[in-house]
Structure 1
Amino acid sequence: MRVLQRYFSVEIIRAVLFVMLALLALFAFFDLMGELQSVNKGGYRLQHALLYVALGLPGYIYEFMPIAVLIGTIYVLAQFASNSEFTIMRAASMSTVMAGSMLAKIGLLFVVLTFVFGEFVAPMTTKLAEKVKLNAIGASLAQEFRTGLWTKDLVRDNGLKGSVVGSRFLNVKEILPNRQLVGVKVYEFDSRFNLSKEVTAEHAEYIGDNVWRLSNVTQTSFPKSLLMQDISTVASIKLASLDVASEITPDILSVLFVDPDRMSAYDLAAYTKHLSDNKQGTERYAIAFWKKVTYPFAILVMMALALPFAYLHARSGGISLKIFSGIMIGMVFYLMNSLFSHVGLLNTWPPLITALVPSMVFLFMAMTALWMVERR
């Protein structure tokens, strides 16, 4: 069994790497063609476009790993069937369960690799890619919104640990690549949603520990018992700087400009909690979180789906036909996975169910196919 396990592992890993390289080359070419229209905007040059595309490849590795594993495994198993190697292995007392067990062990390696890319590598390189592009072009985030960027926060009576005494709405005109905020407006409301304070600042800099330092500040306070005829009680002061404690951090602000599917599960969980605490909709990010958690295990489903191809002999179709079938199955899985995210969001399905349905459907297909080939 050790010899067979090693033989399966070497052949499948080699095939998967070849398929992954082909997919990466294809989509890197498409991305580069799309980036060429941005070349020569500001300081954005061809070398920046190449670096931007290269930094996006880890995200594609995460997304296409199940498809690459499916196609690579089908190719290897189809070769074994074509050369009658799999028939000899079965004659030597290798059962379907044993074959599935060997594939599962190889699949676990790809599960771990996919998790590492999805949780650590891809989120980091995606942020770095956007930073490289913005720095080169000289642009800033939030410029495409007419009124700037809006987000909501809670006001507590003792920094971040006290009881909630109100809510805060933050409006930012621009977010610079160095994560500095430009054109900041803060509106604070009490527990009855009466406006209690308005703060405007030219700039805001994050100094750590959930504290923002606002510069060139104008602070206007509104008394609780303010009436239209008593407008003179409104107090306005100017400050050189003002520190504001907030649950909003640069990482949370950057979330608003990143595709949830490219975020880590940790960031998704943190942002989902932030939205929940502020009584905002969490469905989109909750679905993305559960997809991030369950997606690596789709590789095991793809392995199970590839196993029946080992039982199809040459007369059932050549290797090229089986590989084409694998490509079609992989693309259907990829499209179905994306489709169910939108359908689940529209129909308010439970996020975990929305994330699991595509894998469960394909697992059922794999079990049905194995049952049929076993009967034959």
Structure 2
Amino acid sequence: MKTARRYLASEIYRTTIAVILVLLGLFIFFDMIDALDNLNEKFTFVSLLYVQALQIPNRLYDLLPICVLIGTVIALAGLAQRNELVILRVSGISSKRLLWMLWLITIPFMIFAAFVSEVVTPYTEKKTSEFTISALGKNSTKMDSGYWFREPVDDAHYRVINIRRLNSSTEIDTITIFEYNTQDNQLSSVTNAAKGILQHGELRLDNVTTRTLTSNLAQVLTNEQAPLESISSLKTQKTISFKTSLTSERLVATELQPDKMSTPDLLNYVQYLEENNLQANRHIVALWRKGSYPFTLLVMITLAAPIGFVQSRKGGVGAKIFLGILIGIIFFMANQLALNVGMLNNLPPWLTALLPNIIALILAFGALYLMERRSKPRNFIHAK
């Protein structure tokens, strides 16, 4: 039993690593060609190679489930072609036992996936964002108006911060701060600054202009007559500082994909969003998806089992590999579709994250059951 499991593991690990190297090479090559247009004096070819190296864990995170599926299909198809699976079955190892062996073989993949998901990918994604911001002077990828944050000032006021440009994780350009009354949500002041630095829980602004409203703006706008007195006062300051709930991690988090953040960073950002009554559903879904990511590998190797177990007399390896690739692409598309549909329809986060895995696992078990059911009558006839 142990010898058979070790042999299966060596075959699956060897083919999966080969598939990972091939797919990573293809994706890196095409992405480098696509990124050549961004080369300039600051973003040189060496910088491009550095960014591509940082993106390897990110691509590995996306490709690992499909690589496990294709690698397992190739390994099992090769064993079936050489009649080695038949030998295992004749020696008394049932399909259930083979599936259990495959699940045990998946455990190192799951540990590796959890390490990549929680440690390597978040680190390299942060480094990539910080480097592209400093090298390209990156503007917001979310909206043309920049980055938007909301936080309380005190019991009577809250502020909305707009940042048009990030120079680094701590240096920002063109800041506008809108302060509102909590009771009636009326605008009380608007502050503009050319530059800002975020450090140690404080936001320091340079070249600051603050316009404070001295009248109720809603009443002034609804009045047909022009106001007799000025409705605002203007104040200019060279530098001001104030406490803020923003941190460099939360600032950079706006540029990161939620699925590529670590669980502690996701929990911290979800807490910030919920404390300020902001939409956190996308990041909660990402938490569920990260938790289910190692389980996805188990689903992939279960999907590969019925494909690889099928015994074909004349080759059939190419057809199995093609079917494995097709199933992997369909699963990836179904995963993205479930995410978009779940976000649009405000479905429960656990359902959005787990539904594709649950459906794929049911289909895999159904295929294994049908395969076993078809093989039993044949065995009975041969026994006769």
Deviation at 1:75, TM superposition (A): 1.2
Query: 2:158 is matched with which residue: 159, 167, 190?
Result: 167
Measured at CA, do residues 313 and 144 of structure 1 come closer, stay the same or move farther in structure 2, by a change above 3 Å?
A: closer
Query: 1:202 is matched with which residue: 186, 191, 194?
Result: 194
Deviation at 1:77, TM superposition (A): 1.2
Q: Match of 1:37?
A: 37
Q: Match of 2:119?
A: 120
Deviations along 1:255-310, whole A, 9 cap, x unmatched? Answer: 22233333333333332332222222223232233222212211001111112234
Contact 2:169–2:248, Cα closer than 8 Å, also in 1? no
Deviation at 1:233, TM superposition (A): 8.9
Q: Match of 1:263?
A: 261
1:211 aligns with 2:202: yes
Deviations along 1:296-337, whole A, 9 cap, x unmatched? Answer: 211001111112234311327521111111111111111111
SS at match of 2:92: coil
Q: Kindly provide the amino acid, as one letter, of the partner of residue 356 in structure 2.
A: P
Query: 1:149 is matched with which residue: 147, 150, 156?
Result: 147
Contact 1:74–1:307, Cα closer than 8 Å, also in 2? yes
CA distance in 2, matches of 1:245, 1:306: 54
CA distance in 2, matches of 1:176, 1:90: 62
Deviation at 1:5, TM superposition (A): 2.2
Q: Match of 1:61?
A: 60
SS at match of 2:313: helix
CA distance in 1, matches of 2:18, 2:111: 19
CA distance in 1, matches of 2:284, 2:41: 37
Contact 1:194–1:224, Cα closer than 8 Å, also in 2? no
Q: Match of 1:15?
A: 15
Contact 2:331–2:356, Cα closer than 8 Å, also in 1? yes
Percent identity over paired residues: 31
CA distance in 1, matches of 2:60, 2:228: 63
CA distance in 1, matches of 2:55, 2:302: 29
Q: Kindly provide the amino acid, as one letter, of the partner of residue 38 in structure 2.
A: S
Contact 1:86–1:310, Cα closer than 8 Å, also in 2? no
Q: Match of 1:185?
A: 176
CA distance in 1, matches of 2:258, 2:204: 28
Q: Match of 2:355?
A: 357
SS at match of 1:173: strand
- TM-score w.r.t. length of structure 2: 0.87
Contact 1:143–1:174, Cα closer than 8 Å, also in 2? no
CA distance in 2, matches of 1:186, 1:312: 64
1:272 aligns with 2:270: yes
Deviations along 1:208-243, whole A, 9 cap, x unmatched? Answer: 2x2222233344545688986695696654444332
Measured at CA, do residues 132 and 225 of structure 1 come closer, stay the same or move farther in structure 2, by a change above 3 Å?
A: closer
Contact 2:132–2:138, Cα closer than 8 Å, also in 1? no
Contact 1:100–1:307, Cα closer than 8 Å, also in 2? yes
Query: 2:341 is matched with which residue: 328, 340, 343?
Result: 343
Runs of 5+ in structure 2 lacking a partner?
221-226, 376-384
Q: Match of 1:105?
A: 104
Contact 1:141–1:177, Cα closer than 8 Å, also in 2? no
SS at match of 1:314: coil
Measured at CA, do residues 283 and 317 of structure 1 come closer, stay the same or move farther in structure 2, by a change above 3 Å?
A: farther
Contact 2:73–2:305, Cα closer than 8 Å, also in 1? yes
Q: Kindly provide the amino acid, as one letter, of the partner of residue 304 in structure 2.
A: A
Q: Match of 2:381?
A: none
Q: Which has the larger radius of gyration?
A: 2
Report the count of equivalent residues: 366
Deviation at 1:22, TM superposition (A): 0.7
SS at match of 2:156: strand
CA distance in 2, matches of 1:363, 1:198: 54
Deviation at 1:82, TM superposition (A): 1.5
CA distance in 2, matches of 1:65, 1:330: 11
- TM-score w.r.t. length of structure 1: 0.88
Q: Match of 1:6?
A: 6
Q: Match of 2:382?
A: none
CA distance in 1, matches of 2:229, 2:105: 73
CA distance in 2, matches of 1:301, 1:61: 18
